[in-house]
Structures are given as structure tokens and as C-alpha cells.
Amino acid sequence: MAIGKAISRVEAGDKVTGAARYTEDVRVAETAHAVLLGSAISAGRVRGIDTRRAERAPGVLAVITHLNRPDFAAVPPTPYTAEGRMPLVDDRIHYAGQYIAVVVAETREQAEHAATLVVVDYHRTSPVPTLDAALSQAYIPRENGLARVPSEYRRGNAEAALAAAPVRVEEEYRTAALSHAPIEPSSTLAYWEGDRLTIYDSTQSVHMHRPLVAIAFGVPEDRVRMYCSLVGGGFGNKSYSWPHVFLAPMAARVVRRPVRVTISRKQVFTGTGHMAATVQTVRLGADQDGRLRALIHDSVNQTSFIDDRQETASAITPYVYAVPDLYARIRVTKVNTGTGGAMRTPGDSAGAFALESALDELAHRLGMDPLELRRRNHADVDPVSGRPWSGKQLLACYDQAAERFGWDRRNPEPGSARDGDDLIGYGMAGGQRTEHQRPAQATVDLTDDGTAVIRSSMVEIGGGGLTTLSQIAADGLGLPTAAVTFQHGDSALPAAAPTFGSMTSGSTGSAVKLAAADALRAAIDLAVGDRRSPLHGADPDDVVAHEGGLRLRDRPGDGESYRALLRRNRINTLRGDGDFQPEGEDAEHAMATFGVHFTEVRINRYLPRVRVVRHVAAFSIGRVLNAKTARNQAQGGIIMRLGAALMENQRPDPVSGRFISPALTDYHVPVNADIGEIDVIFVEEPDTNANPLGARGLGEICAVGICASVANAVHHATGKRVRSLPITPDKLL
Amino acid sequence: MRPFHYTRAGDVAEALRILSQDEGAALIAGGTDLVTLMRDGISGPSHLVDVNGLGLDEVRWLPGGGVRLGAMCRNAANDSRLRRAYPVLSEALRSGASPQIRNRASVGGNLLQQTRCTYFRLPEFACNRRNAGSGCSALQGDSHAQAIFGASSQCVAVHPSDFSVALQALDAVVLTEGTRGRRRIPVDQFFRLPGDTPQVTTELRRDELIVGVELPDSPFAARSHYVKFRERASYAFALVSAAVAVEVRSGTVRSARVALGGVAAKPWRSQAAEEALVGARLNEETIAAAGDAAARGAQPQRHNAYKVELVRRVVRQALSELG
Ligand SMILES: Cc1cc2nc3c(=O)[nH]c(=O)nc-3n(C[C@H](O)[C@H](O)[C@H](O)COP(=O)(O)OP(=O)(O)OC[C@H]3O[C@@H](n4cnc5c(N)ncnc54)[C@H](O)[C@@H]3O)c2cc1C
């Protein structure tokens, strides 16, 4: 069995030797380079824009502004078109850094230089700079930004139940705006041949983004071919087509040459979204024995003047605990900032900080072990639909992680544990993520040299999909993983599920499994119908795949290799098709992934910077496809959220709203020295209710609950409850 | 970035000649700061004069005591004798940036690195330091990282260097050479507070370059220490740092230096803290008094009152760890 094995990534060698080809590495003859000029103000209009000097600068081919741009054919649909306003359509400015001109030149340096020569006359209006400034204007979005998630949910009468509850916690929690901060700045290379468009794009899904580009330029979808082999980190920011994706083909049309746009490092912070800041209130009502009676979770996030994009912080809340009376609401409010985007883990990471902190506060007030509080409120069935869960192993996660961590050694008294000048704190928190699935297609070709080729448009984002899906095909055909290759990242291939929303394993993985099974069936049919085959005349159900070929289940000696079978029949390839269709709304089971985190922090009592020295997490995600890539993925998600807990902050300038830390020097993410021991447990159980493969997504659940776990540990260490992220030293002095 | 000429200077005289002839010329050493400033449109020299060919990369021990570091010594300088004689210096260097950057960054460049004030580094904001008379966006802006000492109504930025804080505590002297000859400028005078001319950050003239720094032999240098407190464990500028050096004889502090980083437009010497130490026994009480004295007179901005308390604590920590 290849599935489950801890094998290294198939593309690892290419990545460490520099052979791996990312979008920016693609070379096309005659490529011109475009640089995007961002607005210097955050609200107002472009009154005038003088491009004459820029046009005369060396190497310049064109300067495109709202005054001379070609028209878009149509506005493609949101949310996967990131902004509902197409770039350069008019003179209006909604946020700092919004693109107001495209400068195209022979080289990138020439374009950068010419961009400095564009003179803009701005008409300034006064901006709404921050979430706080806009808080009183919060509203439920008219047009729901993420159709899957309702803005309001109610069961029972939460207000009345809260009023009647003997114990209450009512607090406000805040999360900062965050940057995805991937290593790879987004890049798009586009060229036209007549009305055929070829586009290389740093995208998390060629098949979801191709139609958007086709609509924008008014060409049939099959005239657009989109490629993306590898993504150098996305975390959600490449799950949308941001304005530069449309500006590259536009510029290519104007200069009649291939055009590349690679946004600058600074533009990564303003041009490809962020996780919006939130202000949340949580109200909990409980009995003396810790049973939750009422839960109200209200969230407001900043959004742009262009779009109503929700950070769906309270969307998961109705599903997590068995609370009879509950109200959850998500509102937005307009700020002169760019539109936010989904970032690992959309909604749930920010929401879990509030909910799981509040539970810790409740446990403290009740004098109860916070883990026990969660056990008492365990949702045995989905509290929203009443359906049974598909493979929920949360209680086992609690037990195993608590034991590994040594939770029972915790003295509940805050400030009770010390080591020299270090205050020691233990904290814990839970996490849950609704499992999403989408249709996915793949083919698996069995070839006459005894190898197999997977064809599916999946994009490898660093999570290990190329490897795990190869393992699935290998198992399906009885081949070693090394005998499987993968054609991917090309819209001419069968459509994979997007590489976001944790859908690679469950959806695309299932398509590969089905395709491999289909190829195997074709091989078996061929063999049993072939007089010259040792398997001739056998019942197809008795034939199984084994070590590069077929054999009878009960008589291992009888069989032959794929190679022999195909060559004898002069067949180069046998193709298997896989078409995965999720069950949808009427499924019998509710599907989610679950996790729990335990964190040990140490804080010097004089110079209080939080150090996370130990973190133990356990996840219930069904079947684990590759122990190594899974552990890797989980550690990455945990580290990412440790950053949000302790340091990451897209600070807005309080006057203009411009983000003032658009550089990795200022926007701090954890460095190696910040990371202690991270231990990850998977409580496995093949979950075939979810899909044929039994695997659910890991990429997102692994990043839910960490911030609260850290904040709860900080409270345990210091007695201080920090309700506003990140937990920087100034908050602990 | 603007187009520019590039010359790799063969000797100091050639570098000086270009500097004095070309108003738009700038020296480039490791380039770890200057290149970023050029890319971001903050600095736009028309002529880069590369000083990497000038030598100036020696650590030379002086016969009468003290040591001279050439301007092109890298921030990775890791000389065991230096470490023993001036621990605070080695510690400050090691606490800065990352190994890669330290391998590239030079002594001269470190002194002349620009502030990390985000309002200075983003050309969209008004900044008197970048563009004299244009205003200071930081005054109404986010001030969490700004100065608590020596700021003016024109500029509230801080000097980001760790190395310079150690130099301040060691009474170091900056050695310069210009078309009008050589100068020896004590570190404390080398850096300027913003006052009404925040665009002038040092005493260095347009037609001068730094050839090195000199550390005198001092009775307090050997017992010195650097504590840098920052937002993450490594690879971040200081929120507040302290360089301390103390000479103790017969249980009593004879002389002391306390310099602070992250709090002012220059490495900030706290004479009040030094006075609290001199003549006293180096015990917990004295150390606490020195910490308090160091924080006295601080004028925090809207978002950085926390730095005042940090000064107290960082100074205490540095002195306590001296043992
Ligand atoms: C990501 C990052 C993190 C950093 N973290 C820290 C930190 O924690 N602590 C810290 O102290 N520093 C830190 N730094 C700053 C770093 O120390 C400086 O960038 C470096 O010391 C500059 O040296 P350089 O030789 O590269 O200078 P350059 O970039 O080449 O030049 C900087 C300036 O000095 C001038 N100059 C250079 N040499 C001479 C000379 N001999 N005479 C006259 N003028 C000269 C140049 O004209 C220019 O104005 C960091 C830098 C980066 C990029």
C-alpha cells in the first residue's frame, strides 16, 4: 500500500535544485514587461494623469490608464473575480495602492523607471481609514459575498436563554488584518494568437479562473488556455483572480506581444487581498455544571468600498457545540482598503479565536477544566441539521493530545507555574471546519511500459498533492509510486477541484481513485478477453492489481504484467476516467474536520515576549494519505497561525488607511527561532461516507484554534486575558 | 528605480573626487539598505560609487590600546579578541539582521542606514526627513515604533542600528576622510537629533566618507553587555535595546555607560542612568534606580508609552546579566 506511507514529495528534488518551474520562470520569446502603478491616495479620483514623459522613456511600449484602456467585454462574476470593479474602468480610487496605470516596456527595469515618471493629479476625498472608524456603520451585506455561508443564523431564542443562564461570559475580541505573505509574488504572463489567449498564472485553480478571463475578454472559454504548474505559496490569495490577472491580457492586446506582470513584494500586501480585521463579541450562557444554554456570536469585518466580502468568523459557530439556543451574525463595514480574500482558514481561524477564548473564560469562571467543559458540550450530531457526523473523532483527539501534552499536570491557577524568571502557561482550544467538496475529473493512463500517467488540472501549492494523488493512483493499479507521473496545472487537462478549501485530497483525490479503478477495469477486461493471457476467461471480479500487473486473487501465481498485456495487444495506453461528484446537500451525513490544540508558552516576567515552546495538536480528518506531507502541512498551518497569534499585523495608517507594513521586514512572520516543538497526531478512521477515498481536507482545519490556544496559555501563565490579536509584548507589560 | 551610473572606486581619492563633483553621487557598500531605498523610490542617486574595492576591511589593534575597525569590515566580524575586549560590540552585531545580511553589510553602511520609520519608507506619505518641509505623517499616524527621546515636531523617527548603540556605550570615534582632510568625530556627535532639520541625520559632509571607527581602550569596555528586545526571537529591529558597560572596583561602580537603541533618532546615551550607577554598589537596588533613571524624561507618542516601561526593564536586564 502506498497510501498512508511517509514518502517525500515527488517534486522535492526539483524544488531544492532550482529546477522546479514557477510561473515567473516561464520564458516566452518577445515578452514585454508590465509594471502596475498604484494610487498614492486611498480615496478620491484621478483628476488628471500625465503619461507623456513615461511614454518617451527608453523601452516603453505603452502606458495604459482609465483614459485610453480598451473595454472589457463584461464583468466576470465574484467572488472568484476578486474585485467586483474591473481595473482601470474609471477615475475613482477606493484604496491605497489600487492600480491606476499599467506601464509596458521591453524590460521590467524600464517599466519600473517609466512608472516613476507618470504624474498624477489627485482629487482627494476623506477616507474611512480603519475598522474602528467604520464600526458604527456595520451592516448585513446586501449581496452575500460568499454564497455558501448565510450572514445570520438563529436557533431557539438565544437572548432569552442568555438572560436566564446562571453563568455568563460576554466579551469583545479583535483580530488584526493579516497578509497571506507567500514567498511567490503573483505573476501572470499572457499572449494572444488571434482570439486565442494563452495565460500562465500563479493561480490555485486554472479551471475556476479560466472562465473569468474568458468572460472579461469576451472569448469562448475553450479559446483560453491557462497554465499553472507550481504555486510558491498562496494560502488563499491565489484562489481569486486579482486585477493584475486581467491587466496582463489587456496589455498584451495593446502592445500585440506577450506581456508579463509580476507584482512587487509591496503589492503582495495590497494587490492580492488580506484577511480582514474583525471585531467580534461572544456571549455565552451556561449552567453551573458547564452545560451551554445560550451562545451569541457577532462579528464585524472591514470590507472595501468595492465589495461586500465577509470574513465569515461566526459561520462555523452553530455547528461546533451542542447549544440549544444560538444566534450568529456576520456584518461588514466599509473602509478605504482593498477587498479582503479568503486566507487559511477563512472565517474559522478568526472565529475560533473569539469562541474558544470565551470558552476558556467560562471554564475559568466555573472553576472547571476547559477540556472538560468542551467534552460536556460535545456535539454528538450536527446541531444544525441533526444529521450524524461522518467520522467525527474529536473526543479521541482530546484524549490523545491531552495525554501526549501532559494536560493533567496543569495547575488551573493562573501564574502558578514558573521556571526561574519564566512564567509558564498551558492552554488549549478546539477547532472545526466544514468539509467542502466539488466535482473533480481526472484520467489515469496505463502505458505499455508499465507506468501510469495521471492527467488532471490540479495545481501543486506545496501541500503535497502531486505526491498523495500519485500514491492513490499507484495503489489503485498496484504500481510503485515512482512509476506514476502527473500531468497537471493545465486547463486542457480534465478539471481538478481547486487547490483551496482543502479539496485536493477529498475531491481531486477521489477522481484519481475512480480513474485508476477505471483503468484497472479496462486492463482486466482486456486480459480476461485475451486468449493469450494467463487470465483468459477468468471472472473479472477475481482479478486484482498486483506489483505492476494483474493476477488472480486466490491464485497469486496466475497473472501477467501490464507491460506484457498491453504490448501483446499493441495498445500504447489504456485510459481510465474518473469523475467525482459530491453528494451535495441531501447527503446522509454532515461533513467536517475537527481538531484540538494544546500549547505551552513561556514568558519572561521582565521582558514579556510569548514563546511557544511546545504545541500538540490532534486532528480528525478521516484517512491520512501520506504521513509525511500531512505532518508537514499541519505544522505549516500551526506555524502560520502562531504568527497571527503573536506578531502578524497589517497595520493601517490611522489617517489614510494605507497598510504601513508592506514588506517582510516590517510584517513579521515567525522565524525558525520562534518555533518550538510541534507534535501532530492524526486520529485516523477511513471515512468513506465523505467520499470513496475516505480522506477529508487537512490544509485548513490545521490552522483553526491555535490563536485561542496561545491566548488561553498566556492567561494561564500571567493571569492576563488578551482579547486582541496579535499578543505583542506591549500588551503584557 | 531611476537609471544611474556606476563606478567601482579604486581608491579613497577617486571615491571622494566623484562625490565632490557629482551632487547626485552616493556610496554603495553592502547595498543591503541602499538598494531597498532605491527600489522603493526613497533614494535616487544618479551615480553609485562602489567602495568594495577600497580595502578598509581590517581590524587593527592600536599600539597604545584600542582598536580600529575599517569601514568595510562586515557586520559578521567575529574576532575572538574583539569579543573579549568589547563584548557589547560583538553581541550587538550578532543581534542584528540575519547571517546573510551581516555577511554583506558593512560597518560604514550600518552607521548610515536609514530609519525604518514606515512613513519615511513609503513615498506616498509626507516626510520631512525624506523631503524637507513636506510635513511628517507620523505625527498623526501610527507611532508604536517611534521615538520617546529627542524627537521634534518635524520628525519622530528612530535610528535602527544595534551596532551604533554599542559604539555609543564604548565612546567610539568615527573616522572620516574628505576632500578637506580627515576628521575624528565622537559617535555621540556624529549622529544628529532631528530638530528643525531632520533631513540632516549625521555630521558627515557630502564630500566625506567613513574610513572606520575607533574603539578606545576604556576601563568599562570589558564588562559590557547588549540586550535587545524585539517582537520575535530573531531577525527584527529592536523595540528597545540597551548597551551597558560598567567598571567596578572594590565593589563600587567607578565608571559606566548606558546607551539605548530604538528610542531616538540617534543611539541615546543616558547620563542619568550612568550617574545612578557611579559610586554605588552594583546591586538590585542600584540597577533598579538606573533603569528608572534611564526612562526619566521620556516623551512617548500616542502609541508607544510601552517603550518607557521597556527602557526600564531592558536596562535592568542588561545590568543584571552583567553579574
Ligand atoms: C531585513 C533587514 C533586517 C535588518 N535588521 C537589522 C537589525 O536588526 N539591526 C541592525 O542594526 N541593522 C539591521 N539591518 C540593517 C543593516 O545593518 C544595514 O542595512 C547595513 O548595516 C547597511 O550596510 P551596507 O554596507 O549594506 O550599506 P549600504 O546599503 O551599502 O549603504 C547604506 C548607506 O551608507 C552609506 N555608506 C556606506 N558605506 C559608507 C562609507 N564607508 N562612508 C560613507 N557612507 C557610506 C551609503 O551611501 C548608504 O547611504 C537590517 C537590514 C535588513 C535589510
The domains found in chain B, sorted by start residue, are 1-49 (3.30.43.10), 224-322 (3.30.390.50)
Exposed / middle / buried, residue A592 (Cβ in 10 Å: 0-12, 13-18, 19+): buried
Give residue A420's pLDDT: 96
pLDDT tens, position by position, A675-712 = 999 999 999 988 778 788 888 899 999 999 999 999 99
Give residue A148's pLDDT: 60
Alpha carbon distance B141, A561 (integer Å):
72
Q: What's the whole-number mean pLDDT along residues A163-183?
A: 98
Q: Do A96 and B144 count as a contact with CB atoms less than 8 A apart? A: no
Peptide bond connecting A345 to the previous residue in cis, omega within 30 degrees of 0: yes
Query: All 3 cell numbers of residue A306?
Result: 468595492
Domain ends where: A581, A614, A648? A581
Indicate whether A47 and A195 sit together in one domain.
yes
Give residue A371's pLDDT: 98
Q: To the nearest whole angstrom, how far is the Cα of A673 from the nearest Cα of chain B? A: 6
Q: What is the DSSP letter of A315?
A: S
In a domain, A132, yes or no: no
A51 pLDDT more than 90: yes
Give residue A150's pLDDT: 83
In a domain, A515, yes or no: yes
Answer for the pair A718, A418: CB distance below 8 angstroms, yes or no: no
Alpha carbon distance B148, B125 (integer Å):
21
pLDDT tens, position by position, A130-147 = 999 999 999 998 765 555
In a domain, A7, yes or no: no
Q: Which residues pair with A301 in a beta bridge?
A: A278, A332
Task: Please state, for a pLDDT cut of 70, what percent of chain A lies above it.
Answer: 99
Q: Does B143 touch chain A (CB under 8 A)?
A: no
In a domain, A8, yes or no: no
Q: What's the whole-number mean pLDDT along residues B52-79?
A: 94
Give residue A587's pLDDT: 84
CATH number of the domain where residue A324 is located: 3.30.365.10
Residue A322 dihedral angles phi and psi, to the nearest 5°: -80, 85
In a domain, A203, yes or no: yes
> What three-state secondary structure class fits A320?
helix
> What three-state secondary structure class fits A309?
coil
B257 pLDDT more than 70: yes
Indicate whether A683 and A556 sit together in one domain.
no
Domain ends where: A222, A252, A271? A271
How much distance in Å is there from the Cα of A314 to the middle of ligand 1? 46
Give residue A2's pLDDT: 84
Query: All 3 cell numbers of residue A438?
Result: 466539488
Facing residue for A653 by CB, picked from B121, B142, B309: B142
A472 pLDDT more than 60: yes
Alpha carbon distance B120, B122 (integer Å):
6
Give residue A147's pLDDT: 52
Q: What is the DSSP letter of A143?
A: S
Q: Kindly provide the b/e burial profile for residues B216-226, where b requires at least 16 CB atoms within 10 angstroms of the residue's own CB.
A: eebebbebbbb
Range with the largest mean pLDDT of A78-87, A251-260, A501-510, B73-82? A251-260
Indicate whether A563 and A530 sit together in one domain.
yes
| Chain A residues within an 8 Å CB radius of B113 | none
B1 pLDDT more than 80: no
Q: What's the whole-number mean pLDDT along residues A647-660?
A: 97
Give residue A591's pLDDT: 93
Give residue B220's pLDDT: 96
Residues of A in CB contact (< 8 Å) with B are 40-41, 96, 109, 112-113, 116, 266, 606-607, 609, 611, 646-647, 651-656, 658, 660-663, 665-666, 668, 670-674, 728-730, 733
- Residue of chain B whose alpha carbon sits nearest to that of A267: B40
Q: What is the DSSP letter of A36?
A: E
Give residue A186's pLDDT: 98
pLDDT tens, position by position, A424-450 = 999 999 999 999 899 999 999 999 999
Give residue A547's pLDDT: 93
List Cα–Cα distances, A732 to A603, A611, A708, A717, B255, in angstroms: 9, 13, 16, 11, 34
Report residue B275's pLDDT band, with 50, 70 and 90 as the boundaries. very high
pLDDT tens, position by position, A596-653 = 999 999 999 999 999 999 999 999 999 999 999 999 999 999 999 999 999 999 999 9
Alpha carbon distance A596, A594 (integer Å):
7
Give residue A146's pLDDT: 53
Domains: count for chain A: 3
Q: Does B284 touch chain A (CB under 8 A)?
A: no
Indicate whether A54 and A191 sit together in one domain.
yes
Alpha carbon distance A411, A124 (integer Å):
57
pLDDT tens, position by position, B169-209 = 999 999 999 999 999 999 999 999 999 999 999 999 999 99
In a domain, A2, yes or no: no
A586 pLDDT more than 80: no
**Cβ-based neighbours of A173, under 8 Å, separated by 6 or more:** A279, A280, A281, A282, A353, A354, A357, A358, A723, A724
The yes-or-no answer on residue A83 being catalytic is no
List Cα–Cα distances, A55 to A59, A115, A620, in angstroms: 9, 9, 58
Q: What's the whole-number mean pLDDT along residues A311-335?
A: 97
Indicate whether A482 and A618 sit together in one domain.
no
How much distance in Å is there from the Cα of B110 to the middle of ligand 1? 4
Indicate whether A466 and A519 sit together in one domain.
yes
CATH number of the domain where residue A251 is located: 3.90.1170.50
Give residue A686's pLDDT: 80
Give residue B284's pLDDT: 96
Q: Alpha helix (H) ranges present in chain B? A: 12-21, 34-39, 80-85, 87-94, 99-104, 107-112, 118-121, 163-169, 187-190, 271-277, 284-295, 306-322
| Chain B residues within an 8 Å CB radius of A609 | 229-233
**Cβ-based neighbours of B288, under 8 Å, separated by 6 or more:** B316
Poorest-pLDDT segment among A30-44, A544-558, B87-101: A544-558
Catalytic site residue from A11, A83, A361, A700: A700
List Cα–Cα distances, A534 to A524, A531, A552, A566, A664, in angstroms: 12, 8, 10, 14, 63
Q: What's the whole-number mean pLDDT along residues B316-323?
A: 93
> What three-state secondary structure class fits A329?
strand
Facing residue for A671 by CB, picked from B141, B229, B232: B232
In a domain, A429, yes or no: yes
In a domain, A102, yes or no: yes
Among A705, A9, A720, A3, which Cα is nearest to A357's?
A705
Indicate whether A421 and A521 sit together in one domain.
no
Q: To the nearest whole angstrom, how far is the Cα of B18 from the nearest Cα of chain A? A: 24
Indicate whether A419 and A533 sit together in one domain.
no
Q: Alpha helix (H) ranges present in B40-160? A: 80-85, 87-94, 99-104, 107-112, 118-121
Q: What's the whole-number mean pLDDT along residues B227-244?
A: 97
Report residue B323's pLDDT band, with 50, 70 and 90 as the boundaries. low
Average pLDDT, chain A: 96
A585 pLDDT more than 80: no
> What three-state secondary structure class fits B311?
helix
Indicate whether A371 and A461 sit together in one domain.
no
Q: Which atom of ligand 1 has the smallest separation from the CA of B164?
A: 11
Give the strand pairing for B268-269 and B252-261.
Answer: antiparallel
Task: Specify the residue with its C-alpha closest to ligand 1, atom 16.
Answer: B110
A315 pLDDT more than 90: yes
Helices (H) and strands (E) in chain B, counts: 12, 12
Indicate whether A605 and A699 sit together in one domain.
yes
Q: Which atom of ligand 1 has the smallest separation from the CA of B204?
A: 43
| Chain B residues within an 8 Å CB radius of A113 | 1-3
A724 pLDDT more than 80: yes
Indicate whether A539 and A445 sit together in one domain.
yes
Indicate whether A593 and A644 sit together in one domain.
yes
Answer for the pair A355, A317: CB distance below 8 angstroms, yes or no: yes
Q: What's the whole-number mean pLDDT along residues B116-120?
A: 97
| Chain A residues within an 8 Å CB radius of B121 | 663
Give residue A143's pLDDT: 65
Give residue B25's pLDDT: 97
Domain that holds residue A32: 16-126+183-233+238-271
Task: Please state, for a pLDDT cut of 90, what percent of chain A lies above it.
Answer: 92
Alpha carbon distance B92, B82 (integer Å):
12
Domain ends where: A564, A581, A598? A581
